[in-house]
Amino acid sequence: MSALRQVWVISFVALVGFFGLRSLPDTQCAFLHADHQPVVVDGLEFCGLNEEANFYSPKALRFPVELKAALDAAGTSGELRLLKDDGHPYYAHEIAVSHTQRVHLHLRQIGGAREYAHLHPQPAADGSWRFEVPVQLRGLPLRAYVDFTDVRTARTMLAEAEVAPPEGRARASARPVGSMRNRIVELTASTTLTGSSAMIRLQLAGPAGQTLRLKPIMGSLGHAVVFSADRPAAGYAHMHPTLEGGEYADNPTLAFRLRLPAPGTYDFWLNLNDGQDELLRTTLVVTP
What is the pLDDT confidence band of residue 244, given thresholds at 50, 70 and 90? Answer: confident
Give residue-wise pLDDT tens across range 132-190: 999 999 999 999 999 998 988 888 889 999 999 887 666 655 555 445 789 999 999 99
Identify the CATH number of the domain in which residue 113 sits: 2.60.40.10
Q: Beta-carbon neighbour count of residue 88 at 10 Å? A: 12
Question: Over 90: is that where the pLDDT of 225 sits?
Answer: yes
- Letter string b/e over residues 132-161, b meaning 16 or more CB atoms within 10 A of that residue's CB: ebbebbbbbbbbbbbbbbbeeeebbbbbbb
pLDDT digits (tens, 9 = 90+) for 56-72: 888 888 889 999 999 99
Residue ending a domain, choose from 106, 134, 163:
163
Measured in whole angstroms, the distance separating CA 93 from the mean position of its chain's CA atoms is: 21
Q: Decide if pLDDT at 27 tops 80.
A: no
Number of domains the chain contains: 2
pLDDT of residue 180: 73
Cα torsion 126, 132, 138, 144 to 10°: value is -60
Same domain, 222 and 140: no
Q: Are 146 and 90 in contact (CB under 8 A)?
A: no
| 3-state secondary structure at position 133 | coil
Banded pLDDT at 250 (limits 50, 70, 90): confident
Same domain? 73 vs 110: yes
| Domain shared by 157 and 208, yes or no | no
Which one of 163, 197, 232 terminates a domain?
163
Are 156 and 197 in the same domain? no
Of the candidate ranges 95-99, 229-233, 242-246, the one whose mean pLDDT is the lowest:
242-246
Same domain, yes or no: 153 and 230: no
Tell me which of 111, 133, 163 is where a domain ends: 163
Q: Please tell me whether residues 195 and 257 are part of one structural domain.
A: yes
* pLDDT for residue 10: 58
Report if residue 256 sits inside a domain: yes
What integer pLDDT is reported at residue 221 of this predicted model? Answer: 79
Is there a domain that residue 121 lies in? yes
What integer pLDDT is reported at residue 188 of this predicted model?
96
- pLDDT tens-digit series, residues 93-148: 999 887 778 999 999 999 889 999 999 999 999 999 999 999 999 999 999 999 99
Question: Structure pTM?
Answer: 0.79
Give the domain range for residue 203: 183-286
Q: What is the pLDDT of residue 172?
A: 58
